[in-house]
C-alpha cells in the first residue's frame, strides 16, 4: 500500500507542477485515472485475472517517473529497431517525443502531446473512451500520467500504404517508469498499417506501462503490429484496446520477446455487424522470463468473425500465460469465433498456463477453441529425421515452425524479415 | 542370368513395441532394382517392419539383423539411414506447423546433398530443381507453399509422400500402406508416379493390405506376413491368389508352423 501512496504522491507533485498547463478536460481525465488507481491498488494473485502473475517486482520496485533523456540517441542507434527509414515515423525516448528522429504528418501522425492542444476536440472525443480503467489498475495509472505518445488519425477513405512506425525506446535508466499513451483513429473506409515497437538501449531495470487505443470506423481496416523486445531485466505492462465499426477489419499481431515480466491485455470490441478480427500472437521466452497475455474479444454485434492464434515457445525456466476470453453478447447471432493457443515447452522447467473463457449468450453461433501444452511432437521429429535432417536441426526446424506460423500471417514483409531474424538468432543460441 | 547385387538382407528380425513382440523372426532379401510387396492381415506386423527399417525409436530390436548396402542398418540413426538412401513413405504423414512444403523439401534435400558431397541448393536453384521434378511426374506446385501436410486431404498427404520420394531419390523406398484411404483415381496417380520412379538402382518395398495397388505396380516378389513372420513368398500371381482366398488359410499355416 505504501507503494501505491508513493505513486499517488508522485502524481500529485507532477500534476501541480509539470502537468498543470494541460487543458481542463485532460486534467480531469488524469484525476479520474489516479483516483481509480488509488482505489484499486496493485493487483494480487487472488484476483482471477492475475492468478498466474505476480506484479510484486513492479509494486515494490520504487519506480520514478522518467525524465527527458539527457542525450538524444542517434538515428544509427535506432536503426536496429526500424524497418525502413522511409515513411511516417514517430519516435519517443523515455516517453518524450523526439522531433529530430521523427517524420510526422501534419496533425494526423503526430505526438499526442502536440495534438492534445492543437486538435483538442478530436483527441477529447476518443482519448480514454475505450481502454477500460474500471478494474484495470495499470491502465488507470497510465491514464493518470497521460502526457505523450503516438497519435495516428487517418481521415475517411484515405489509405496510408506504407506502415507507420511508432518506436518507444527506453534509455534504460534505473528505476524509471514511462507511461506511453497511444491513440489511433481510423475513420470510415480508411486504411492503415502500424508497427509499434518497444525496445531499450540499456538494461534498467526500468518499467514501461503503455496503453494503446485503436478506433476503427465502418468498413475501415487497420493492420496493427506490436513488437515487444524490451531488455530482459525490464518490466512491461500494456493494454491494447480496439473498437471496430460495421464491416471493418482489424488485424492485431503481437510478438513478445523481451522483459523479465510482461503482461499484455488485449481487448477487442466488435461493435458493428460484419466485422472481421484477427488476433495473432507469439511469445518466445527463455531464462526466468514471464509473459502473460490476457485477451478479451467482445462480440457485441451479429455476423462478426474473430480468429485468434497465439503460440508460445518456452525455454529455460520461463513461464507463459494465455487467457482467451470470448464474449458473445445476446443478439450477436452468426458469430464465428475460433481460438487456438499452442505452447511448446523446450525445457522440463518451462511452464505454460492456457485458459479459454467462453461466455456465449446467443444461440446461433460457432465458437471453437483449442489449446496445447507440450514438448516437440516426437512423430514430427521422426518424420524429419527419416528425411535426412539431423536431430538437432530437426528440433530447431520444428521450433522455428511454431514461431513462423504466427509471423507468416503478417503482411509487412520487412517486419516479417526483422522478426524472423530475431527468432532465428534466439534459436541458434540453443 | 546374373542376379543383381543384394541391397537389403534381413535375417531373423525380432521386434517389440511397448513390450509386445510384433515381428517374430523376419527374413527378407532384396536386390537392386527389385520391387517387393509385403501383404498381410491387420496386426501382422507389416507397418512395424516398415517403421523399424526406417529407424523409428519406439521399436525395440530383440534379435536378428538388417544389412543394407553392406552396412548394419539397425546401427544407424534415422537420419543416417535416410542419407544412405532409405526412404519411408509414411502411412500417416505428419503435419508440421509453420514450415512450408518447399522449405521442408529443401532442408531434407540439402541434408542429403551434404552427405553426397554436393553443394546445397539455395531457394532459387531448388525451385528450378523442384519444377523439373514436378514436370517429370506431371504434377503442379499447388502444395508447395502450404505448411507440410497441414489441412491436406488424405490423398494430398499420400501424394506428398511420393513427391518427397521423387525429390530425395532413395535407393530403397519403403511405401507403408500408401494406397490405403485413396480413391481409385488417386491410387492410379500414385502408382503411375511410382512406376516412373522405378530404376535399376532403386528398389521398392511396398507394404499393402490390399491387392489392388499391385494391379498398377507389378512386383517382382510378393511376401505374405502373418503373425510376425513371412509365411509365404512368390511371384505377382500370389497377390491375386490372396485376393481370391483371403488371409485365413495362411494364418492357420503360420499357427501350425
- DSSP assignment of chain B equals -PPPPEEEEEEEEEEEETTEEEEEEEEEEEETT-EEEEE--TTSSHHHHHHHHHT-TTEEEEEEEEEETTEEGGGS-HHHHHHTTEEEE-SSPPP-TT-BHHHHHHHHHHHHHHHHT-PPPPHHHHHHHHHHHHHHHT--STTTTSBTTTT--HHHHHHHHHHHHHHH--SEEEEESTTTT--HHHHHHHHHHHHHH-BTTBEEEEEES-SGGGGTS--SEEEEEETTEEEEEE-THHHHHHHHH-SHHHHHHHHH-
Q: How far apart are CA B73 and CA A353, in angstroms?
A: 43
Q: What's the fold here for domain B6-93+152-256?
A: Rossmann fold (3.40.50)
pLDDT confidence of residue B2: 59
Q: Does B156 touch chain A (CB under 8 A)?
A: no
Partner residue facing B94 (CB), from A379, A388, A397: A379
Q: Nearest to residue A354, comparing CAs of A410, A392, A311?
A: A311
Question: Mind listing the pLDDT tens digit for each residue in B222-236?
Answer: 999 999 999 999 999
Question: Mind listing the pLDDT tens digit for each residue in A204-217?
Answer: 899 999 999 999 99
Dihedral of alpha carbons B111, B114, B118, B124, sign: positive
Q: How many CB atoms lie within 10 A of CB B20?
A: 9
Q: How far apart are CA A258 and CA B222, in angstroms?
A: 60
- Find the mean pLDDT for residues B188-209: 94
For every residue of B114-158, which 3-state class applies, written as one string? HHHCCCCCCHHHHHHHHHHHHHHHCCCCCCCCCECCCCCCHHHHH
- Let me know the angle formed at the C-alpha of A91 by A86 and A93, rounded to the nearest 5 degrees: 150
DSSP conformational letter for A100: G
Instruction: Categorize the per-residue pLDDT at A237 as very low, low, confident or very high, splitting at 50, 70 and 90.
Output: very high
Asked whether the beta carbons of residue B99 and residue A387 sit closer than 8 angstroms, the reply is no
DSSP conformational letter for A213: E
- Find the mean pLDDT for residues A414-423: 97
Partner residue facing A389 (CB), from B54, B98, B111: B111
Q: Does the reported pTM lie above 0.90?
A: yes
Q: Does A348 touch chain B (CB under 8 A)?
A: no
- Find the mean pLDDT for residues A273-298: 98
Look at residue A150 and tell me whether its pLDDT is greater than 90. Answer: yes
Q: How far apart are CA B234 and CA A331, in angstroms?
A: 69
Asked whether the beta carbons of residue A405 and residue B97 sit closer than 8 angstroms, the reply is yes
Burial class (CB in 10 A: 0-12, 13-18, 19+), B164: buried
pLDDT confidence of residue A1: 63
Q: How far apart are CA A427 and CA A429, in angstroms?
A: 5
Q: What are phi and psi of A394, to 5 degrees?
A: -65, -40
Burial class (CB in 10 A: 0-12, 13-18, 19+), A213: buried
- Helices B101-116 and A378-385, packing angle to 10 deg: 50
Least confident range of A345-354, B94-103, B131-140: B131-140
Q: DSSP letter string over A29-94? A: HHHHHHHHHHHH-S--TTSGGGTT---HHHHTS--EEPPPPSSPPPHHHHGGG-S-SSS-EEEEET
CB < 8 Å to B108, chain A: 384, 387-389
Best of B89, B99, B103, B121 to disrupt the A interface (most A CBs within 10 Å) is B99
Distance from CA of B50 to the nearest CA of A (A): 12
Q: How far apart are CA B170 and CA B83, in angstroms?
A: 9
Chain A residue with minimal CA distance to B91?
A383
Residue identified by cell 526446424 is A397
Whether the complex's predicted ipTM surpasses the cut of 0.85? yes
**More reliable by pLDDT, A326 or B141:** A326
Look at residue A27 and tell me whether its pLDDT is greater than 80. Answer: yes
Question: Mind listing the pLDDT tens digit for each residue in A87-140?
Answer: 999 999 999 999 999 999 999 999 999 999 999 999 999 999 999 999 999 999
Alpha carbon distances (Å) from A397 to A172, A246, A280, A400: 34, 41, 21, 5
pLDDT confidence of residue B253: 60
Asked whether the beta carbons of residue A382 and residue B57 sit closer than 8 angstroms, the reply is yes
Distance from CA of B95 to the nearest CA of A (A): 7
* Largest pairwise CA distance in chain B: 60
Q: Give me the residue spans of the domains in chain A.
A: 2-272, 378-430
Q: What are phi and psi of A46, to 5 degrees?
A: -80, -15
Question: Mind listing the pLDDT tens digit for each residue in B79-122?
Answer: 999 999 999 999 999 999 999 999 999 999 999 999 999 999 99
pLDDT confidence of residue B252: 64
Percent over 90 (pLDDT), chain A: 95
pLDDT confidence of residue B210: 85
Residue identified by cell 522455428 is A400
Question: A183 pairs with which residues across the strands?
Answer: A151, A213
Asked whether the beta carbons of residue B95 and residue A380 sit closer than 8 angstroms, the reply is yes
- Helices B101-116 and A391-407, packing angle to 10 deg: 160
DSSP conformational letter for A246: T
- Find the mean pLDDT for residues A358-377: 96
Chain B residue with minimal CA distance to A376?
B96
Q: Which of residues 376-395 of A touch B (CB under 8 A)?
A: 377-380, 382-391, 393-394
Q: Nearest to residue B27, comparing CAs of B230, B173, B238?
A: B230
Q: Which of residues 114-143 of B touch A (CB under 8 A)?
A: 115
Asked whether the beta carbons of residue B79 and residue A378 sit closer than 8 angstroms, the reply is no
Asked whether the beta carbons of residue B96 and residue A398 sit closer than 8 angstroms, the reply is yes
Q: DSSP letter string over A327-352? A: EE-TT-TT-EEEEEEEEEE-STT-EE
Q: Does B197 touch chain A (CB under 8 A)?
A: no
Contacts for A200 with CB less than 8 Å, ≥ 6 apart: A169, A170, A171, A172, A206, A230, A231, A234, A258
pLDDT confidence of residue B256: 46
- A93 contacts A169 by C-beta, under 8 angstroms: yes
pLDDT confidence of residue A428: 86
- A407 contacts B147 by C-beta, under 8 angstroms: no
Residue identified by cell 522447467 is A349
**More reliable by pLDDT, B106 or A19:** B106
CB < 8 Å to A401, chain B: 96-99, 147
| Residue A223 grid cell | 493492420
Q: Does B95 touch chain A (CB under 8 A)?
A: yes
Look at residue B257 and tell me whether its pLDDT is greater than 50. Answer: no
Asked whether the beta carbons of residue A385 and residue B79 sit closer than 8 angstroms, the reply is yes
Look at residue A407 and tell me whether its pLDDT is greater than 50. Answer: yes
CB < 8 Å to B53, chain A: none
Look at residue B1 and tell me whether its pLDDT is greater than 60. Answer: no
Sheet architecture: strand order including A276-285: A96-97, A89-93, A164-170, A191-200, A221-229, A249-256, A276-285, A305-314, A336-345, A366-374
CB < 8 Å to A400, chain B: 98-99
Asked whether the beta carbons of residue A388 and residue B93 sit closer than 8 angstroms, the reply is no
Asked whether the beta carbons of residue B83 and residue A388 sit closer than 8 angstroms, the reply is yes
pLDDT confidence of residue B251: 63
Partner residue facing B94 (CB), from A380, A393, A406: A380
- Find the mean pLDDT for residues A394-423: 96
| Residue A226 grid cell | 506490436
Quote the radius of gyration of chain A (alpha carbons, Å): 21
pLDDT confidence of residue A18: 74
Q: Give me the residue spans of the domains in chain B.
A: 6-93+152-256
- Find the mean pLDDT for residues A72-97: 95
pLDDT confidence of residue A173: 87
- Find the mean pLDDT for residues A354-383: 96
Q: How far apart are CA A78 and CA A379, in angstroms?
A: 43
CB < 8 Å to B112, chain A: 388
Least confident range of A198-202, A394-398, B180-184: B180-184
Q: How far apart are CA A297 and CA A324, in angstroms?
A: 8
Amino acid at each position: 500500500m505504501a507503494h501505491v501512496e508513493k505513486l499517488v504522491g508522485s502524481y500529485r507533485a507532477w500534476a501541480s507542477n509539470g502537468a498543470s498547463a494541460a487543458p481542463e478536460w485532460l486534467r480531469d481525465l488524469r484525476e479520474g485515472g489516479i483516483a481509480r488507481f488509488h482505489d484499486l491498488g496493485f493487483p494480487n494473485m487472488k484476483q482471477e485475472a492475475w492468478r498466474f502473475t505476480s506484479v510484486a517486482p513492479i509494486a515494490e520496485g520504487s519506480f520514478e517517473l522518467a525524465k527527458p533523456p539527457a542525450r538524444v540517441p542517434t538515428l544509427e542507434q535506432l536503426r536496429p529497431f526500424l524497418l525502413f527509414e522511409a515513411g511516417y515515423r514517430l519516435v519517443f525516448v523515455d516517453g518524450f517525443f523526439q522531433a529530430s528522429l521523427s517524420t510526422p504528418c501534419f496533425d494526423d501522425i503526430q505526438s499526442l502531446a502536440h495534438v492534445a492542444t492543437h486538435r483538442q476536440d478530436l483527441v477529447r472525443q476518443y482519448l480514454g473512451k475505450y481502454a477500460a480503467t474500471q478494474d484495470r489498475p495499470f491502465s488507470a495509472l497510465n491514464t493518470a500520467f497521460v502526457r505523450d505518445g503516438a497519435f495516428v488519425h487517418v481521415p475517411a477513405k484515405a489509405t496510408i500504404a506504407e506502415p507507420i512506425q511508432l518506436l518507444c525506446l527506453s534509455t534504460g535508466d534505473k528505476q524509471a517508469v514511462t507511461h506511453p499513451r497511444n491513440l489511433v483513429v481510423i475513420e470510415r473506409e480508411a486504411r492503415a498499417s502500424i508497427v509499434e515497437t518497444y525496445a531499450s538501449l540499456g538494461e534498467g531495470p526500468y518499467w514501461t506501462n503503455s496503453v494503446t487505443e485503436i478506433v476503427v470506423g465502418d468498413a475501415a481496416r487497420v493492420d496493427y503490429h506490436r513488437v515487444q523486445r524490451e531488455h530482459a531485466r525490464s518490466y512491461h505492462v500494456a493494454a491494447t484496446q480496439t473498437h471496430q465499426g460495421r464491416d471493418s477489419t482489424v488485424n492485431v499481431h503481437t510478438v513478445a520477446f523481451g522483459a523479465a515480466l510482461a503482461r499484455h491485455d488485449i481487448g477487442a470490441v466488435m461493435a458493428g455487424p460484419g466485422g472481421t478480427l484477427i488476433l495473432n500472437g507469439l511469445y518466445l521466452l527463455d531464462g526466468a522470463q514471464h509473459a502473460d497475455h490476457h485477451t478479451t474479444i467482445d462480440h457485441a454485434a451479429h455476423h462478426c468473425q474473430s480468429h485468434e492464434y497465439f503460440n508460445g515457445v518456452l525455454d529455460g525456466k520461463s513461464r507463459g500465460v494465455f487467457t482467451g476470453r470470448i464474449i458473445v453478447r445476446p443478439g450477436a447471432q452468426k458469430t464465428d469465433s475460433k481460438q487456438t493457443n499452442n505452447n511448446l515447452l523446450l525445457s522440463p522447467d518451462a511452464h505454460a498456463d492456457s485458459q479459454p473463457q467462453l461466455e456465449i449468450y446467443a444461440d446461433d453461433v460457432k465458437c471453437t477453441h483449442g489449446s496445447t501444452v507440450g514438448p516437440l511432437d516426437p512423430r514430427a521429429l521422426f518424420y524429419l529425421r527419416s528425411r535426412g535432417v539431423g536431430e538437432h536441426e530437426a528440433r530447431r526446424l520444428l521450433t522455428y515452425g511454431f514461431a513462423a506460423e504466427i509471423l507468416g500471417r503478417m503482411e509487412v514483409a520487412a517486419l516479417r524479415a526483422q522478426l524472423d531474424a530475431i527468432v532465428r538468432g534466439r534459436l541458434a543460441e540453443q | 542370368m546374373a542376379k543383381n547385387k543384394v541391397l537389403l538382407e534381413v535375417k531373423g528380425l525380432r521386434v517389440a513395441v511397448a513390450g509386445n513382440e510384433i515381428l517374430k523372426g523376419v527374413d527378407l532379401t532384396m536386390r537392386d532394382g527389385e520391387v517387393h510387396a509385403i501383404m498381410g492381415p491387420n496386426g501382422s506386423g507389416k507397418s512395424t517392419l516398415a517403421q523399424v527399417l526406417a529407424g523409428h525409436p519406439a521399436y525395440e530390436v530383440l534379435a536378428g539383423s538388417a544389412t543394407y548396402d553392406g552396412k548394419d542398418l539397425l546401427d544407424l540413426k534415422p537420419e543416417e539411414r535416410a542419407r544412405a538412401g532409405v526412404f519411408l513413405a509414411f502411412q500417416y504423414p505428419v503435419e508440421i506447423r509453420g514450415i512450408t512444403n518447399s522449405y521442408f523439401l529443401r532442408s531434407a534435400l540439402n541434408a542429403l546433398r551434404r552427405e553426397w558431397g554436393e553443394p546445397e541448393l539455395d531457394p532459387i536453384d531448388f525451385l528450378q530443381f523442384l519444377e523439373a521434378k514436378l514436370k517429370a511426374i506431371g504434377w503442379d506446385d499447388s502444395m508447395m507453399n502450404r505448411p507440410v501436410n497441414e489441412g491436406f486431404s488424405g490423398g494430398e498427404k499420400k501424394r506428398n509422400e511420393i513427391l518427397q520420394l521423387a525429390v530425395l531419390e532413395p535407393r530403397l523406398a519403403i511405401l507403408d500402406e500408401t494406397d490405403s484411404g485413396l480413391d481409385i483415381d488417386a491410387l492410379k496417380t500414385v502408382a503411375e508416379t511410382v512406376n516412373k520412379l522405378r530404376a535399376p538402382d532403386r528398389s521398392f518395398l511396398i507394404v499393402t493390405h490390399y491387392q489392388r495397388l499391385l494391379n498398377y505396380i507389378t512386383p517382382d516378389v510378393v511376401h505374405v506376413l502373418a503373425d510376425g513372420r513371412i509365411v509365404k513368398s512368390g511371384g505377382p500371381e500370389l497377390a491375386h491368389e490372396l485376393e481370391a482366398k483371403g488371409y485365413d488359410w495362411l494364418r492357420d499355416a503360420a499357427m501350425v508352423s
